[in-house]
Amino acid sequence: MMDLLGGERDGHGEAVRVGDRAVSREELFGRASGVAAEIRGAGVVAVHATAALETVTAVVGGLLAGVPVVPLPPDSGPAERDHSLRDSGAELVLAARGAYEAEGPPVVPVDELTGNGTQGTVPADATALILYTSGTTGAPKGVLVSRAAIAAGLDALAEAWAWTPEDVVVHGLPLFHVHGLVLGVLGALRVGSPLVHTGRPRAGAYAAARSRGGSLYFGVPTVWSRVCDDPASAEELRGARLLVSGSAPLPVPVFERLERLTGHRPVERYGMTETLITVSARADGDRRPGYVGTPLTGVETKLVAEGGAPGPADGETPGELYVRAPMVFSGYLDRPEATAEALGADGWFRTGDIATIGPDGWHRIVGRASTDLIKSGGYRIGAGEVENALLAHPAVREAAVVGTPHADLGEQVTAFVVADGVDGEQLAAFVAELLSVHKRPRTVHLVETLPRNAMGKVVKTRLRP
Q: Each residue of 297-328: pLDDT tens digit?
A: 999 999 998 788 999 999 988 889 999 999 99
Show the domains of the chain with their CATH numbers.
Answer: 14-357 (3.40.50.12780), 373-462 (3.30.300.30)
> What number is the average pLDDT over the span 179-208?
97
Predicted confidence (pLDDT) per residue in 69-118, tens digit: 999 999 888 999 999 999 999 999 999 999 998 899 999 999 988 876 55
Can you give the pLDDT at residue 2? 57
**Per-residue confidence (pLDDT) for residue 359, from 0 to 100:** 97
* Averaged pLDDT for residues 36-58: 96
pLDDT at 195: 98
CA angle 19/21/25 to nearest 5° reads 115
pTM comes to 0.84
Q: Residue 13: which residues within 8 A CB-CB, separation 6 or more?
A: 24, 25, 194
Which has the minimum average pLDDT: 310-314, 356-360, 370-374? 370-374
Find all residues with CB under 8 Å of 187, minimum gap 6, and list them. Answer: 154, 157, 158, 163, 169
Task: Please report the pLDDT score of residue 252 as a whole number.
Answer: 81
Instruction: Tell me what pLDDT residue 455 has.
Output: 41
Closest of 340, 300, 32, 59 to residue 187, by C-alpha: 59
Q: Give the residue-averaged pLDDT of 13-38.
A: 94
Q: Report whether 213 contacts 219 (CB < 8 A).
A: no
415 touches 401 (CB < 8 A): yes
Helix (H, G, I), strand (E, B) or coil at 220: coil
Task: Give the integer Cα–Cα distance in Å for 438 and 382.
Answer: 12
Mean pLDDT of 126-151: 89
Q: Which residues pair with 72 in a beta bridge?
A: 48
Please give the pLDDT value at position 119. Answer: 65
pLDDT band at 454, cuts 50/70/90?
Answer: very low
pLDDT tier for residue 206 given thresholds of 50, 70 and 90: very high
In this prediction, residue 89 carries a pLDDT of 98
CA dist 150 and 6 (Å) reads 12
The pLDDT of 224-247, averaged and rounded, is 96
C-alpha to C-alpha distance for 200 and 128, rounded to whole angstroms: 26
Count CB atoms within 10 A of the CB of residue 240.
22
Cα–Cα distance between 448 and 401 in angstroms, integer? 15
Nearest CA-CA partner of 233 in 267, 281, 198, 268:
198
User: How far apart are alpha carbons 37 and 31 in whole angstroms?
Assistant: 10
**What pLDDT, on the 0 to 100 scale, is given for residue 36?**
95
pLDDT digits (tens, 9 = 90+) for 280-292: 999 999 999 989 9
pLDDT at 307: 84
Mean pLDDT estimate for the chain: 92
Asked whether residue 1 carries a pLDDT value surpassing 60, the answer given is no
Whether 11 shows a pLDDT value over 80: the answer reads no
Structure confidence at residue 213 as a pLDDT band (50, 70, 90) = very high
